[in-house]
Chain A
Amino acid sequence: MNSTFHLANLLTEPPGIAHFMTVGAVLFVCGAMCMATKRNALGVLMGIELVLNGANMNFVAFGSQYLQNGGEYLGLDGPLMALFVIVLAAAEAAVALAIALNFYNNHDSIDVDRADQLQG
């Protein structure tokens, strides 16, 4: 029942949900910052992939029986939701890539700052 982070027994105690959630949080934050700061539209897409992976990490952690410590347990919901997220991410990447290629063909640029035709 160790909830705090002890450096001494880092390798002797099994990782819990919190460890997986922290990795997911790092992936999420990196992806969100990619979406915010990249100027290449494909870089923004890669940020979206990272965000979805960070979310997936939480689903997998809460659905894993090896990480349970008497808290919430999603059971089969976790892996199945993770599968749906993976499939929807593939679909999203296909459509977004088609839009990006269309934009590139029409404007001869992949810079998201150039996509300002719809602003009022």
Chain B
Amino acid sequence: MEPIYWPSFFFYLFAILACGFAVAVLLSANIVRMAFYLVLSLAATSGLFFLAGQEFIGAMQLLIYVGGTLVLLVFGVMLTSQERFVSMKTMSGDWFIGLMAGGALLSLLAAAAFSVPQWGSPDRAAVENLPVQKTAAPIAMGLLGARVDQPGPDEPQRGVMSGYLLHFEIVSVHLLVVLVGAAYLARAKRKTAPAPGV
């Protein structure tokens, strides 16, 4: 009997947490509980990112998603939480159709994932002998426009593939536009005061 491979154990732990709380989001009718389950599901997902060796993505998931986006959603829940909107029941016909389509899609996707031999479990000894890369520098260099992980075939004089500077700029401008747009959409409407004497 081989000794337990502990990353595998933690993978199943976080996978069960992420999937279980995602199902809880789906099945819960209370919007406040849904928000809480979503926080737990996304946090467990970041644990899976850590396990896949993408520590930076996991940390950003916790910071931006769980710390930012979800707080935004919770504020939305609080601003609209009248008594009749907190718990809205789904019609049973919707449940039936949704479960049929969702179950079919899920079985298709899972079967497809496990049908490719190259996507199966890697060799244990090979994985355990991989060097650990304790730096986020390749990601930062990629965002600055230089790919350090693989040499570029088209630009041999530079020795690196062109990175993600353009994407980074586009996302930056997109965020700025979105912030302006969101502030404009959600601004407080000024009540038009009735004209004096009317």
Contacts and interface: CB of A to CB of B under 8 A. Distances in A.
A84 B4 contact: no
Which of B35, B65, B97 has the largest count of A CB atoms less than 10 A from its CB? Answer: B65
A100 B88 CA distance: 16
Given A36-B94, A50-B25, A53-B45, A66 B127 contact: yes
A117 interface: no
A29 to B, nearest CB: 4
B26 A33 contact: yes
Interface in A24-83: 25-34, 36-40, 42-43, 45-47, 49-50, 53, 56-57, 60-61, 63-72, 75-76, 78-80, 82-83
B147 to A, nearest CB: 6
A10 B54 contact: no
Would you call the interface of chain B mostly helix, strand, loop, or mixed? Answer: helix
Nearest to B184: A98
Given A49-B73, A69-B121, A76-B150, 4 more contacts: A66-B52, A79-B139, A91-B175, A102-B185
Interface of A: 1-5, 9-23, 25-34, 36-40, 42-43, 45-47, 49-50, 53, 56-57, 60-61, 63-72, 75-76, 78-80, 82-84, 86-95, 97-102, 104-105, 109-111
19 contacts: A11-B9, A12-B5, A13-B8, A13-B121, A13-B124, A14-B7, A38-B90, A40-B85, A43-B88, A50-B25, A50-B38, A56-B57, A57-B48, A64-B53, A76-B139, A80-B142, A86-B57, A94-B179, A111-B85
Interface of B: 1-5, 7-9, 11-12, 15, 18-19, 22-23, 25-26, 31, 34-35, 38, 41-42, 45, 48-49, 51-54, 56-57, 60-61, 64-65, 68-70, 72-73, 75-77, 79-80, 85, 88-90, 94-95, 97-99, 101-102, 105-106, 109-110, 113-124, 127, 130, 138-139, 142-143, 147, 149-150, 164, 167, 171, 174-175, 178-179, 181-183, 185-186, 189
